[in-house]
Structure 1
Amino acid sequence: MVVLAKRLPPGLLREVLEFLPACVSTARTLRRDGAVPRRAKVALGVAVLWVLSPIDLLPEFLPVIGPLDDVVAVVLLFRYAARSIPRERVLAAWPGEPRLLLRVLGAPAR
């Protein structure tokens, strides 16, 4: 996915293809951080395992909806974990453009 995304012009499709690899990279970085609570580390670990697992709810060969279960699971787990991690720490661990991550995480908790 990363190789294909690098060849695409800037836009939404490129951002979507870069999303899951960026999530895995961010989760790995945050799991090593001692200031991240244990429940957030568990949620991030499950997100990484979900993406890397060969078992899917929807088979990957189905166009468009194949990777959908991965994206939905990662978004939900990231949002859950981000509730207990300072937003600045999550943004610092994100390897790409923060705009997409901010849309996924939603408005900051007040």
Structure 2
Amino acid sequence: MFTKWKEWARALKRDIFVLYSAIRDRRVFIWLRLFMLVVVAYTFSPIDLIPDFVPVLGYIDDLLLVPLGIYLALKWLPNDIVAEHRARAEELAKRGKPTSWVAGALIILLYVSLGVWLLRWLISWAGLGIF
């Protein structure tokens, strides 16, 4: 059972580099390239949308969202383009995982915006009338 999971994890790692390589391919529709960019940036982001220390929910993005995004992007990507970028993906994977600090900054911005919204809602709910 664990060997299947290890194979699956290796395939996911390889496939994320396929998407990373295919993002710059002009033959791919712009909407699919944007979707792949979001999936790759989130995967390589040093910050998770739901932090891993949150019980159960912290691993949902790692176990469900990322694989689902990779699966959908590969399903929508033409087979000839996937085959072409598989060879390049091996070379990219050898260099190591890049880090997407832009995606990390966007997630932090999302958290700050959510915190400000929540604070404003709590203040208005309490009737303090500050904002």
* Matching of residue 23 in structure 1 with residue 15 in structure 2: yes
Using CA pairs below 8 Å that are at least 6 residues apart, which structure has the higher relative contact order? 2
Aligned ranges for residues 47-66 of structure 1 at < 5 Å? Answer: 47-60=39-52, 66=58
When normalised by structure 1's length, the TM-score is 0.56
CA-based RMSD of the aligned residues comes to 3.1
Corresponding residue SS for 1:32: coil
When normalised by structure 2's length, the TM-score is 0.49
Q: Write 1 or 2 for the structure with the bigger share of helix.
A: 2
Any stretches of 5+ residues in structure 2 without a counterpart?
91-131
Aligned ranges for residues 45-84 of structure 1 at < 5 Å? Answer: 45-60=37-52, 66-84=58-76
The one-letter code of the counterpart of 2:46 is P
The one-letter code of the counterpart of 2:67 is V
Change (3 A) 1:92 1:60: farther
The answer to whether the Cα contact below 8 Å between 2:12 and 2:70 also exists between their aligned partners in 1 is no
Change (3 A) 1:24 1:84: closer
The one-letter code of the counterpart of 1:48 is V
Larger-Rg structure: 2
